[in-house]
Structure 1
Amino acid sequence: MTQYDPALDAHISSNWGNAHRLLDLLEDRRLLSDRHSLEDASYCILSALQIRETMTVMMAATTPGPLKEALREIRAACRAFVHAGGPNGQHFDQSHDLFAINLTALRLAVARQVMSVMSTFGLSSSPETRRLVEIIQSERRPGS
């Protein structure tokens, strides 16, 4: 039996809209849903930078708690992806395997946070969010 947690309840109540905005934002990102072979490394780096900036803005509008931690984790995953790409994505241009491995890692990190937010906030998934999570979860190796 789960005990009532007034702090968590307050966090959920005050951040409900931000949780919905997060899911809406991420379900529409090609970076998180297209096959590796269809992706362009430079576009993906730009998209990860945009997501990272958005997570920073959303964190400023979110009270401390599980959502803020999810935003922080997504931002860190984007930072790691951009860093792995190197200056102007040169590392990814030199090795598609490196790109695919890091893209998969980014997607899995985001999927974990999406599922956590959905669970914490009791949100049902839209068809787009379900598809996003399914695609990300199905990735077990580069080139899949």
Structure 2
Amino acid sequence: MVGQITAIILFNYLAFKTNKNLNASQIAHIWVFTIAFQMNFDIFVDVKYHGYWYFSKAVDWAGLPAHTVLIPPVNMMFINWYPFDGSLWKQIRYFIYWEIPLLIYELITLFPQPWGYFNYGWWSIWHSLAINPILLLILLVYYKKFIK
């Protein structure tokens, strides 16, 4: 629980302190989209197929902050700093630069409690390596089509 609370405070502080490009409406859209998308994804991978879970395999209150206030600020930072006017190569590099800390962070969340709060079933870091860019791309497309 300590790791989750620390991450929530740190990510939210960084997201709001460094935000230079997103207005309140855009932030709200990113948050709502992130929560809805993550909940839908996790219903299958987490709850139905037990690929991974937060704290326990059951649906529990302890996992709720991970679904509601942990990932949205990360997505805020991703969009806020995204090089929209950069070359395709710069945008691809941006995805790669984000993938590395995302994977490192995921490995840290696997530490034993109280620092860790994420657990693997059949999921592995390799699944995340493949899926993270797709999830970020979906966020980016949503932002460009419906928010920007």
Q: Shorter chain as normaliser: what TM range?
A: 0.3 to 0.5
Q: Which has the higher helix share?
A: 1
Ranked by relative contact order (alpha carbons within 8 Å, sequence separation 6 or more), the top structure is 2
Tell me the TM-score normalised to structure 1 length: 0.33
Tell me the TM-score normalised to structure 2 length: 0.33
